[in-house]
Amino acid sequence: MTQRIAFLLFLLIVPLLAAEARDSWVIAQYSEDLAEAQDAIDERVSDNYVPTGLEVAEGTGISVLYVDRPFAERIGLTPGRARLVRLLGDDMQAVEEELNALLADGWFPTDLSRTEEAFYLLFVDMPWQVQQWRFAYDMFSGDRVQAAIELFEEDNMALSGISLYEGVQIWYLFVESSAWQPERLYFTSYANDDQSIIEGFNADMAEGWVPTGFAVGTTAVTLQYVQ
């Protein structure tokens, strides 16, 4: 199965690859206009794609990672709608209140992107109760990522979003929900070029992994996979 990439932040626009069958994953980029991006996301969802990853570069655009619905169903994601939200980062009390309201309304976060000015969050509508959530951040390294995941697992919290900030700092969104407890978690990185990204996605998804978050750096793309 040949996959396609619309274009990734920090990459040049590349032509879409001819698909032999329905794509199991798609990365598409949109303008910074949230209303336009939301319309495009709605169109993808209506075509049975589930948005599971988000990357925003203010001044450049919004990238969304989608997986075909049968892949999303493997990890329990069966939404009928999705929502993209921007929350200003200079008022954390307002961020907390808005996020609590969204969770109470049945929106479950699948990824986040931290920028200098805001938190961007990608949600899908799922009837999952979230007992608690937390943002966390640290310097980015494989050992630190693993340590953070293990630390929050002690409080029954699972990773629900990642974001690289200025290329060196990683932000996390952890949630506690009995409905979101992936059996296995896998982090990897691909070189930030079209061939490496396409080959990487295809190989990892062929092994049964489902991508649920991604972060784009200058030289590499970091993926979170679950089973």
Residues 132-155 pLDDT 10s = 999 999 999 888 999 999 999 999
pTM: 0.90
Print the domain residue range for 123.
4-226
- Distance, CA of 114 to CA of 87 (rounded, Å): 10
Sequence length of the chain is: 227
- Distance, CA of 16 to CA of 57 (rounded, Å): 22
| Total tally of structural domains belonging to the chain | 1
pLDDT digits (tens, 9 = 90+) for 83-129: 999 999 999 999 999 999 999 999 999 999 999 999 999 999 999 99
Q: Which amino acid would we find at residue 170?
A: I
Among residues 199, 207, 192, 219, which one has the least CA distance to residue 17?
199
Q: What percent of the chain has pLDDT over 70?
A: 91
- Distance, CA of 69 to CA of 227 (rounded, Å): 15
Are 126 and 81 within 8 A, CB to CB?
Answer: no
- Distance, CA of 105 to CA of 120 (rounded, Å): 18
